[in-house]
Every structure is written in structure tokens, then in C-alpha cells.
Structure 1
């Protein structure tokens, strides 16, 4: 069985060519625990796969074609193109976060302006005639221009974000501009309530296209399950994504009636919304940092080795993604993994190396219950305390999140004390304990995470 496990971890494309996953990332992560954020934790990316390359190639080819066509034939209406180009540029200049930002849409004003230009059919009652390629050219050029200062500071948009912007705007323009310019849309739905319903339906299709692209790009890089990724992307649209879609549609309708002066008027509400989301993100960051600092109490007091809580949290989140947990469940899982050893502070003498997995079940249960009581006093969600409290329960009675934390904790404890072959031997011991201590599906998911070299980011 040991030979079979070694072959699994050393399979081409799934891990290093050594006999097991290296423990060096764990050591580096432990040394910089007070500096590094929770994401990315450890490990390496899986590289650019074929699907991501196809998306990048399609976006680049479409952008090149659009720019070439526009330079050759010129703009149909320079004032409109310049107005929307300026709006998109300002939106990119006011983006929040960088290429590694956790926020789904870091430049909401730019995205809304691009969507409004794709859905624009009239300007103050006069028909517009910009086509799909002109829309793509203006959006791409303005987005690149607004990203230059951010790129110079090292926090520009990622290739994923730029490719998604080009392809989703092209999708919306293809669904709208040919029908509107040919007059077929007016024949089919007119300019009353059916026209508004058509815009809403088109916005939903565009949002779905964007969500599929975003989930597919993450899936291509990390090989996480596509279904949960798509579900999380769609759920994220209920926040800033819905504001972007609504603002884009309203801008297009307002310009059709009032002209280009409507753009700054309808940009203000989205800017205020962006400011509110930025403050909310800052609160979440502070909240996570507080939990991380609290989790380090056991390390500072000498009860657990440096970096143990963060390594367990990183592994737990990776395994949770592998098993298809939603983003909210992953947050609970991460917080519980960070604080799973907080109950050890009640011990008079520290457990050697903090290895609670070797303690008698009664002592494990007492530490878990005390840890849960401490967690309940910190103000974190009650679900986190439940996961911490149930660490010592039989695994068949535990929720899935508790099973994941239990397995990741045991793996980290075993891997530290098994010598050069620690990760390989630790995973083998976990598999031998699947009959009574660990859920087989969780252990196999952990093996797949380790075979890929750890955890990668979006």
C-alpha cells in the first residue's frame, strides 16, 4: 500500500516527483505566520491549463480584431465612444484590490459603464450605430488605460478579470446591437415594458455567462469541483454584481432619453455602493486578522508548534473546496480550524508538540468542549464553536466540517513527527484509521490536495 501511495503522490501532473509531498512549504509558512495572509496559504499553482489558454486566446484575438477594425474604419460617434471610454477608465482607476483580490468585481463602475455601452441603442433620442467590435475596442482600450497606474504599483487586474470583461461585454453586445440596429428588436418587443423585460433577461444571461467563465477559470487552475464554484459565483452576484447590472441597464436607458449627461449622474450611486462594499471588506479583513491573532495564543504560550493552526486551516479549506463546500461553509471551516486548539490553554502542562490526537478520548473531549466555550465568547458565528466542540466526537456523529478539521489536524501532527517520509507515512496512517477515526472521503480528498502540491488561489 505504501508503494501505491507513493505512486499516487508522484503521478505526472499531480505532484512532485519525489516519494511524497515536500514539507518545505509548511516550514516556510510557519516561519512567516505573522506576515502572510490566509490566502494563499502554501503550495503552488497548477499552472495554465488548456481551458484557461483557450479563454485567454479568445479574448486576445477578439480584442485584436476589434481594435484593428476600429482603427481601420474609425468610430461611428466619437463623442459617445469618448464619454463611455472615460467612464470605464475612471472606473478602472477607482478599482479596489489587486490581481489577488477576493472581491468578485473590483471595478464595479468600469464594469457598469462597459455593460451600458454594450446595451446602448440611442443617445438623447437619436439612434446610435456602434457595432459589437467597436464596443469591444472601446471597452478594452479604456480598461487597459485605467489599469496602467495599478499595474505600475503591482496591483493591476489579473488576466482572468480582463478576459472575462472582454468576453462578457462581447456577449451582451452580440445579443443586443445587431437586433437593435436592424430594427428587429423594436418589431419584436417595442419600447414599452417588454423592452425592459428583454433588458432584464439579457442582463441575467450576461451574468450567467460571466459566472460560468469565472468558475471555469478557477476550475481550470485548481481542479476544484465546477458545481460549487458556479454556485458561489452566482451567489456572489447578489451583492455588487446586481448593482453593476442594474446600473449598467439604467445608464443605457437614461442616455437614450437624456443624453450623455446622464452618465455622471447615475455613476454616483454605484460609487457610493462601492465605498460601502470597500468598508465591509475592510471589516471582514480585520475580523479575520483578529481570529488569526487569537489562534496564535496557543503557539505563543508554547502549547502548539508555530504555524500549526494556519497549516490546519489551509489544509481544511483546501479539502473543503475539494468536497464542494459553499463559500460560507468554507469560512466557518477556516475559522474553526484556526481555533481548534484553543482549549489547550486550559491544560496545566502542554501536550508534547501539541499532539492532542494521541490523548485519551475523554481528555480530547474535555479540551474540545473548553475550546468551544472560549470560541463562543469571541463573537464568531455559533457554527464555528460547534465545529470546535465536536472535534473529539466519533467521526460518524460529526458534521462534515468537524471531520475535515479533525483529519487535517491529525495529518499535520503526524507529518511533523515521522521524519523525512512524514507526509507519506502520515497519510498512510490516516488511511489505516478510516474505519473508526476518519471519514474515507475526507482522507482521499486530502490525498488529492497534497498530490497537487497543496492549495492554490483564485
Structure 2
């Protein structure tokens, strides 16, 4: 068995065991604060229903579900009254809500990948483990109160959770692609500054809002994140159109008979593979790929195509003109 398959199996197995333990514990001991569990479970399910399929490069296709699960993991008070749910109930609610929300997508054949589900379970469990025992024992409220220090503590927990998620995501990508781990981790950490920061901020605000105003805060605070999700999808759609345009232009030299069929795609694949080995990532790889796809576009200015597209055999002055 390949080492990458062992890594992926270990991560999936850990998530499966944690989710099963949470569901079994909750079913055996009952649900603490059923109203809170139902509200946050419904929010996670709604977030999964709002998923429309990940665009290339989209890190979190269901940000509302992620924010709702993290908010429940960091929920202390409910309208001023202390809550008593623990780590395993947080995992159970996140799993139940997520499974309920992805059923329609699975029925249409567009369900989320197992890697994404495993990361969600493990990161939510990590956030709950960092917060719930300290809150239930009175350590957090006793030493920090419920003011600014409490909010900063929640942000610290979410920062550690985001780091945990980035490490897991890079680890799974490394196992599946064999690309260098460093650039993959760097890309994941950079992605946290995008939709990841919005998810973390919404999770903290939801936890604090429910603590102050009750469950009525959830629908109010969910709307901005949904609008952000729509904006990001439009941005990703524009990037997809740009990529399709560049790919079409790259094929123009093949249609004109200037280069062999598939030449631009092969050069782009080879260039990005070399770029990853050299430690490039993110936007650098995108620029390299686009440059590789378009590297022969100047041949369209030739009156007669060069045999095999080998412009290296032309005089230097002609090569500069084509470039």
C-alpha cells in the first residue's frame, strides 16, 4: 500500500471514529439543550444545502456550515444562561447536520469529497476540545469573564483550529498528489486569509451573539456570510472564464497547424510539475501555467507554419519577433 493511501486512510478513520463516538455518546446520554442542538444542526444543514459544487481553487465550498459548526463548538452562554453540552455532542450535531444537508447533493451525484468531510469533523472536534472543557469547568469565565478577553480567547481557539485545518488539508493533498508539503501548506495558510477568515469571524460572532441575545442571533448573522459566499462564487466564475479563454487561445495555434495537437497542454502540465518541485505555489503556479499555455501564440503571425512548431530552429531575429 502506498504511504499516501495510509495517510488518507488514517485521517478518514480518525474522523469516522470521532463522529461515531459523538453520535453514540449523544444517543446514549441524551441531548443537552435540545433547542440549541436543533438550531445549530439546522444551520449546518442549511449551509450544506447552499453548497453548489466547489470551483477550482475554492477552499471552503460550504462556509455557512463550517461557521455554524465552529460557533456551536465555541458556544458558552445562551442568552446569559450557561450551556452544558460537551465535546462529543458538538461533534454529533456537526455530523448529523452535515449528513442531513448533503443528502440532496449525494442523490444528484454531487456530494462533497471524503477529505472535506473528514477535515470538518476533526477540526470541529479540535475546536470543541480546546474550549468546552475549559468553559464547563469554569476556568474561562472565572479568569477572563465575558468581556474583551473572552472574545480574544475565542479568536485564539479559532486561530489554532484554522492552523489545524490547514495542516490536515496540506497533508491530504500531499498524500494524494505527492507534491512537496511546504508549498501546499503555504497555499493553505494563505487561503485562510480569504474565506477562512470570514468563517472564523462569523463563528466567533455567532457564539457571542447567541450568548447575549439567544438563538435569534443566528439567522441575522448568517446573512452576511451567505452574501460573501455568493460574491466569492462570482469571483471564481470569472476566474474560470479567464482560464477557459486562455485555453481556447492556446488551442488556436493547434487549429492553425502551427503546433502539434495537445502541445500547449503538455507544456503547461510539465511546467507546473517542475514549478511545484521548485517550491512554487498559488498564484505563481497559475501565472506559470498561463505562460506555458500561451508560449506559442506568437506563431500565429507567421505566414507559413514552422515544421513541428520548432521555433528554436529559426534565426534569433525571427524568434524575437514571434515572442
Same fold (TM over 0.5): yes
Give the one of 176, 183, 196 matched to 1:228. Answer: 183
- The one of 103, 115, 124 equivalent to 2:70 is 115
User: Secondary structure at the residue paired with 2:215?
Assistant: coil
After TM superposition, list the pairs within 5 Å mapping 1:158-197 onto structure 2. Answer: 158-197=113-152
CA contact (8 A) 2:44 2:65 kept: yes
- Alpha-carbon distance, 1:128 to partner: 0.7
Tell me how far apart the structure 1 counterparts of residues 150 and 59 of structure 2 sit (CA, whole Å).
29
Residue 282 (structure 1) shift: 0.7
Residue 308 of structure 1: how far off its partner (Å): 1.1
CA–CA distance in structure 2, aligned partners of residues 299 and 256 of structure 1: 62
Q: Which residue of 2 aligns with 1:293?
A: 248
2:29 to 64, 67, 73: 73
Alignment correspondent of 2:13: 57
Aligned equivalents of 1:101 and 1:110: distance in 2?
Answer: 20
TM-score, normalised via structure 2 length:
0.96
Which among 274, 279, 282 is matched to residue 229 of structure 2? 274
> How much does 1:63 deviate?
0.7
Q: Deviations over 1:108-146 (max 9, x none)?
A: 000000000000011111111110000001101111111
Q: For 1:133 and 1:238, how far apart are their aligned partners in 2?
A: 29
Q: Mind listing any 5+ residue stretches in structure 1 that lack a counterpart? A: 1-12, 14-45, 369-458
Q: Secondary structure at the match of 1:104?
A: coil
Question: What does residue 352 of structure 1 align with?
Answer: 307
* Cα distance in structure 2, aligned partners of 1:125 and 1:172: 22
Aligned counterpart, 2:81: 126
What secondary structure is seen at the aligned counterpart in 1 of 2:59? Answer: coil
Q: Distance in 1 between matches of 2:141 and 2:246?
A: 56
**Per-residue CA distance 1:12-55 (angstroms, 9 max, x = gap):** x9xxxxxxxxxxxxxxxxxxxxxxxxxxxxxxxx8952111111
Report if aligned partners of 1:47, 1:221 keep a CA contact under 8 Å in 2.
Answer: no
The equivalent residue for 1:149 is: 104
RMSD, aligned α-carbons: 1.5
Query: Residue 240 in 1 paired to residue 211 in 2?
Result: no
Q: Runs of 5+ in structure 2 lacking a partner? A: none
Partner of 2:259: 304
Greater per-residue helix proportion = 2
Q: Partner residue of 2:217?
A: 262
Aligned counterpart, 2:154: 199
| Runs of 4+ with deviation above 4 angstroms | none
CA deviation string 1:325-371 (max 9, x = no partner) = 02110010011011000111121211112123444444433322xxx
- 1:219 paired to 2:170: no
Say whether the 8 Å CA contact 1:96–1:278 is kept in structure 2: no
8 A contact 1:116–1:251 mirrored in 2:
yes
Residue number in structure 2 paired with 1:414: none
Match of 2:184, SS state, is helix
Count of equivalent residues: 323
SS of structure 1 residue aligned to 2:259? coil
Q: 1:87 aligns with which of 39, 43, 62?
A: 43
Residue 381 of structure 1 corresponds to: none
Q: Aligned equivalents of 2:219 and 2:73: distance in 1?
A: 18
Partner Cα separation in structure 2 for residue 213 and residue 359 of structure 1: 50
Which residue of 2 is the match for residue 337 of structure 1?
Answer: 292
Q: Could you say if the C-alpha distance between residues 349 and 151 of structure 1 is closer, same or farther in structure 2, counting changes exceeding 3 Å?
A: same
Tell whether the 8 Å contact from 2:151 to 2:204 is kept in structure 1 after alignment. no
